[in-house]
Structure 1
Amino acid sequence: MTLRGSDGLPLAHQDVTVRQVRHAFEFGCAAFEVADADAAYQDLWLGLFDTATLPVYWGRYEPRPGETALADLTAAARWLADRGVRLKGHPLVWHTVKAPWVDRLPLDEAERLLRGRVRREVRDLAGLIDTWDAINEVVIMPRFDNEPDGVPNAVSRLCARLGRVEMVRLAVDEARAQGTSPRLLVNDFDLGAEYERLIEELLEAGVRIDAIGLQSHMHQGARGADELLEICDRFARFGLPLHWTETTLVSGDLMPPDVVDLNDFQPAEWPSMPEGEARQAQDVVRHYMTLVSHPAVESITYWGMGDGGAWLGAPAGLVRADGTPKPAYDALRSLVRGAWWTDPAPARTDAEGRIEVEGFAGRYEARCGAGSATVDLAVGEHAVEARLAR
């Protein structure tokens, strides 16, 4: 790294301190509750994660036609962005948690509204949220019919009419129509052959996606390292970055292995227990170490830090409902902000203003006297320059 002053001249023979600001790798977490939580919970969240997934489910975001939660979502997004957190919206198109009032409309009208919803959210949140799960769980979408009110699902019916590829194209093209250059993912819990075929078909059809989202809610036990790497290898062949978008590991009793749909197991009580917490801590270390080692993986999102309000009521958080961290929190933090983090280091520039920085890829701040600059260091050896400003 070559350091220069505001005049552009090298800062020769100067004492410099370099500290890491965040990783290039995205260590994320669902952040539905963080902006409104107490300070202690917020400190735990910010002490571990640097990337947040925010909820933009159509049914909750627009419960009545034209009445959106833009103000509340914007406030939560700004709170996180002001603290250096990267943001992702979830999801633009999904057949679940969608606006039920759309189901009763003619399908052409439902399609028009869905297209407009995608454009509106991408446009209104541009500059705050520029990464999106463009479409969620499209493998099952055209055959999904679990509607308790008996009204046919408009999003599923539209997907059945258009086909999966064209449904993804709808989400992607409308999101890109705003000219804001969003980063767009397809996201699915189906990690098998159907999802692989869909991605093949999308790429052959010229649908431009930026990353592949892989869900892994491990309520029935952790995936082993061999299985994780096998999944990564299968999806890495498409040449796109892999994002493990929804990760959970329980710290209580495991869900019975014969349960096919995780939604079918929601006991009245599902407590976190000491032996389960010890298992969860071991599993989370193994899971993250395995995925971080794979060159195609650039992001892991844990699906909720706390047990309070956890999906399906599972004790899958890294923090108990009373706000105290579980062993899994401490174990993961010891990796992300310990073994995988570069501590502030003093250095002295040579005659040409150069220093050598060795650390994990990410954003770094260099400070010399009253001046400072931030630089992004990529994987591998690179020569970079930084001009320090007061």
Structure 2
Amino acid sequence: MSSRSAFDLSGSAPSSFDPGPLIRKHRTADATLTVTAQGAPLAGQEVVVAQRRHKFLFGCIGGDFIPLANGEAPAPDQPAAAGSQEVADLWLDVFNFATLPFYWGWFEPERGRPDTERTLTAARWFADRGCVVKGHPLVWHTETAGWLMDLPNAEIAKAQVDRIRREVTEFAGVIDMWDVINEVVIMPIFDKYDNGITRICREMGRIPMVRMVFDAAREANPQATLLLNDFDMSAAYECLIEGLLEAGVEIGVLGLQSHMHQGYWGEEKTLATIDRFARYGLPIHFTETTIVSGHIMPEEIVDLNDYQIPEWPTTPEGEARQADEVVRHYKTLLSHPSVEAMTYWGLSDGGWLGAPGGFVRVDGTPKPAYEALRSLVKDEWWLPPTTMVTDDDGRVRFTGFLGEYEVSAGGRTAVFTLDEPGGATVEAAI
């Protein structure tokens, strides 16, 4: 929990940590590209090399655009600009990884009538635009289906397993990544209100519960990437992970939440947190991150959901602080080799808790944080179309961020990838 005062706008103190050398070490390749045409090196010719997408998953939630993808009017409970084509264009210009909502209470408020077609249309909309798509979550005690309360525990467990199999099967090939179960540490002791998922987790225990739902997801799509996700960064989450691994539960990725409504973590805390969870040898995704551009939530608030105020405006001073902290946070994450993805929890203001946590104001205009992030993703960490001349062996050399590239010459184009950091030798036939 942050120790900063409730309305401190100064931001955290600058750190002496320099992420630049580590970002270059872990995220770039020194490429030697050999270009061939009709089986022979294309010697002494101009070629244009350009990056097409990043390997690192720069993510953001995409639920605001479900109406747009389905040709519907914006949802009545969201700011008018949030789901607009203009804001979607801003989203697509930076992000390559979308998280779509599968909260059971929203997705299937009436048993047997899931919102499959609309959500699948939205998932395809993102996939058609080159994005990886993840579903969030398959299991969670909050926002779960109310009708579970009418069932005995054994039937709740069966309904949960059936639900997982249905979604993972029907969305396979479009969504092949899932937050399988969310916030298990608190799940069996959650006491805000009674719900079916807490009931069965309390009866089964955390580890059997996680095993049951991961097994169901794995059986439905053996190729899927399956995440365990939590906000609890205490030793309790570490103990849960260790127990699951000792029990042989096959976790694909560890999800770490980092909602910073009470102040930016800073480089040291962020790196220390990553190191604690990297020791399990699993990839890490920062699954839910928020950095606000208004006043900081009071430090005495334990559950962020308890902070409900009529208005929480963005401010010029807060926007400057947010831009600085966003850049520092992304650079810190990319400096650590275990982190493979980062999902920001909402492009537009007025989302979760009504916080000014977005990169875009409620009127649809981008904040400094948006421009700062875009300058990293599409400038500092990006190779624009660049003209090079091949040597006598058809080779060009360049340094680029890991991801997908294309090389063009004489009206022909070939695609190649840089998958691993360090030296890379690749060929492209055009």
2:390 to 346, 349, 357: 349
Gaps of 5+ in 1: none
Contact 2:144–2:195 (Cα < 8 Å) also in 1: no
Count of equivalent residues: 382
Contact 2:44–2:392 (Cα < 8 Å) also in 1: yes
Query: Per-residue CA shift, 1:35-71, capped at 9, x if unaligned?
Result: 5232211111111111111111111111111111111
Alignment partner, residue 237 of structure 2: 195
Query: Per-residue CA shift, 1:136-158, capped at 9, x if unaligned?
Result: 000000111322xxxx3111111
Alignment partner, residue 204 of structure 1: 246
Alignment partner, residue 95 of structure 2: 49
Amino acid at match of 1:215: Q
Equivalence map 1:6-155=2 (5 Å):
7-35=38-66, 36=68, 37-147=83-193, 152-155=194-197
User: Is it true that 1:339 corresponds to 2:394 in the alignment?
Assistant: no
TM-score, length of structure 1 as denominator length: 0.95
Alignment partner, residue 417 of structure 2: 376
**CA positional deviation for 1:253:** 1.1
Give SS of 1:322's match. Answer: coil
User: Is it true that 1:162 corresponds to 2:193 in the alignment?
Assistant: no
Cα distance in 1 for partners of 2:130, 2:309 equals 38
Give SS of 2:400's match. Answer: coil
User: Is it true that 1:225 corresponds to 2:267 in the alignment?
Assistant: yes
Gaps of 5+ in 2: 1-32, 69-82
Cα distance in 2 for partners of 1:341, 1:57 equals 35
Amino acid at match of 2:415: T
Alignment partner, residue 360 of structure 1: 401
Contact 1:13–1:350 (Cα < 8 Å) also in 2: yes
Equivalence map 1:250-269=2 (5 Å):
250-269=292-311
**CA positional deviation for 1:334:** 1.3
**CA positional deviation for 1:9:** 4.0
TM-score, length of structure 2 as denominator length: 0.86
Contact 1:126–1:180 (Cα < 8 Å) also in 2: no
Cα distance in 2 for partners of 1:373, 1:290 equals 33
**CA positional deviation for 1:330:** 1.0
Amino acid at match of 1:141: M
1:236 to 257, 274, 278: 278
**CA positional deviation for 1:22:** 1.2
| Greater mean alpha carbon deviation, residues 312-321 or residues 30-39 | 30-39
Amino acid at match of 1:51: F
Alignment partner, residue 26 of structure 2: none
Alignment partner, residue 4 of structure 1: 36
Give SS of 1:355's match. Answer: strand
CA, structure 1 residues 359+226, in 2 after alignment: closer, same or farther (shift >3 Å)?
same
Cα distance in 1 for partners of 2:162, 2:155 equals 11
Percent same amino acid among aligned pairs?
54
**CA positional deviation for 1:369:** 2.1
Cα distance in 2 for partners of 1:375, 1:94 equals 40
Cα distance in 1 for partners of 2:177, 2:327 equals 27
Contact 2:63–2:100 (Cα < 8 Å) also in 1: yes
Cα distance in 2 for partners of 1:201, 1:358 equals 42
The two structures, once aligned, show a CA RMSD in angstroms of 1.4
Cα distance in 1 for partners of 2:212, 2:398 equals 45
**CA positional deviation for 1:294:** 1.1
